[in-house]
Amino acid sequence: MNKMLVSAVTSSALLLGGCSSSPDEETMTKINNLNNQVSLLNQDLQDLKEQKVTLTSEAQLTKSTAVEAQEEADRANERIDNITQSCNK
């Protein structure tokens, strides 16, 4: 009985081993297409990250320019107020 059990297990293993195969051509084509799409999406993501860095930098520059303009406007208004007060005296 032991020999019969070993023989049955060996036969089953060989049968199951023979059924396994590599993916067919259609499946490989689909896999390659998906890999290409992933590569394109990764490139798009990298481009968007670079654009984000550029836009963030430009936004910070614009903000600092606006702050400087506001400070200059405040100083100009203060000078005008001083001139007006000295003329009224």
Task: Write out pLDDT tens, residues 23-79.
Answer: 789 999 999 999 999 999 999 999 999 999 999 999 999 999 999 999 999 999 999
Assess if residue 23 is contained within a domain.
no
pTM here is 0.55
Assess if residue 59 is contained within a domain.
yes
pLDDT of residue 83: 87
Assess if residue 74 is contained within a domain.
yes
Number of structural domains in the chain: 1
Per the model's pLDDT, the better-predicted residue between 65 and 88 turns out to be 65
Assess if residue 15 is contained within a domain.
no
What are the tokens at 52? 């984000």
3-state helix, strand, coil in the chain (%, to 5): 90, 0, 10
Q: Domain residues for 58?
A: 52-89
Assess if residue 5 is contained within a domain.
no
How far is Cα 65 from Cα 76, in angstroms, rounded to an integer?
A: 16
pLDDT of residue 85: 82
Assess if residue 67 is contained within a domain.
yes
Assess if residue 80 is contained within a domain.
yes
Contact of 23 with 31, CB cutoff 8 Å? yes
Owner of token pair 């490989």: 28
Assess if residue 14 is contained within a domain.
no
Q: In this model, does residue 18 exceed pLDDT 60?
A: no
Owner of token pair 């550029």: 54
